[in-house]
Structure 1
Amino acid sequence: MTELKKGGPVRRQIVQEEGSGREDSLLSVCKRLLQQQSFSNQGELRVRLEELGYTGISQSTVSRLLLQLGVVKAKNACGKKVYCITVETAPVNVKSSIASQIEFITHNQSMVVVKTYPGSAQLVARLVDSDPHREILGTVGGNDTVIIIPRDIEAIENCEHVVKQRLGVA
């Protein structure tokens, strides 16, 4: 945490450093707030975070938090659009458990194929899609097969390598 002084009382501002634990704490608090309360805009969420002691939170920080949490806007029972976290939109992280769901990864002249155990293909496709890469044009996930379309079929081996790295199989 860094303290800033602007001609008056000391104001605390969060400095989000990778691996500091503070960002995870802010992310956890934001997630809990979204699960417990309704917020119709980023300003409302920012104000609530400040009330909890997280001062110096900018709109862009709130926007990044919402993106990391996979938040969507949906109508509540009163018809008002509010931010929601759903299982479907929760962010996916690469873990060794993902690799355990994959039978094999291969390619032909035009696409990369990831064969998974039944029911895992859509999760794997979402994981590949969650962080766009210049080698990957798009994915299609079925029940137990993911088809990955490379941007350039001349670089199909590079595309397969990227997919393997993303899925922890490389």
Structure 2
Amino acid sequence: MYETPTSNEMFDVDHKLTDVCKRLLQQQSFTTQNKLRQALVELGYEGISQSTVSRLLTHLGVVKVQNACGKKAYCLTSENSPVRVDSSISSQIEMITNNQSLVVVKTHPGSAQLIARLIDIDPHADILATIGGNDTILVVPKHVKDVDRCERVVRARLGAL
């Protein structure tokens, strides 16, 4: 006889599924929700639907960005998860420079807002503001006289030393 799971049991299953999904996204690149769903099925989550995967991605704050191979892939960017800057992010950066008043980061088209968000996640004393467009990020230093130090902070955060 089948018993309906309690709300605590359902919470434990949902929490574990969320953790497994987050771990998969940190370890692998998924270009479609179906590929992520298949990976979850292979880990024993039978019967998981595409709509469940969609809800998980929304809950985790996942966005699609261009990966190192030029394909759009899901990327975990939620503030409550560790930010890991790796080759797929740094490969989106074309140039970092400054004009003695602002730091300018040029990216591949469509990457600037995500990369700007990575700079903003953990506030730094040398950064006053970050503005991300389509392929350009402007980083405003707290003090213009410290623009070189601000550029070094940005480079360190993006793994572009």
| TM-score category (smaller protein) | 0.5 to 0.7
User: Are the counterparts in 2 of residues 140 and 146 from structure 1 also a CA contact under 8 Å?
Assistant: yes
| Bigger radius of gyration among the two | 1
Correspondence for 1:85 among 55, 60, 66: 60
Higher helix share: 2
Aligned to 2:43: none
Aligned to 2:87: 96
User: Are the counterparts in 2 of residues 93 and 127 from structure 1 also a CA contact under 8 Å?
Assistant: no
Unaligned runs of 5+ in 1: 1-27, 36-83
Aligned to 2:114: 123
Q: Which residue identity lines up with residue 90 of structure 1 in the other structure?
A: S
Q: CA RMSD in A?
A: 2.7
**How far does residue 93 in structure 1 lie from its aligned partner after superposition?**
2.5
Aligned to 2:6: none
Aligned to 1:7: none
User: Are the counterparts in 2 of residues 115 and 146 from structure 1 also a CA contact under 8 Å?
Assistant: yes
* TM-score between the two structures when normalised by the length of structure 1: 0.50
* TM-score between the two structures when normalised by the length of structure 2: 0.53
Q: 1:30 to 1:138 in 2, by over 3 A?
A: farther
CA distance in 1, matches of 2:94, 2:104: 11
CA distance in 2, matches of 1:161, 1:144: 20
CA distance in 2, matches of 1:32, 1:109: 44
Q: Classify the secondary structure of the residue corresponding to 2:129.
A: strand
**How far does residue 30 in structure 1 lie from its aligned partner after superposition?**
7.8
Aligned to 2:158: 167
Q: Percent of counterpart pairs with the same letter?
A: 53
Alignment coverage as a number of residue pairs:
97
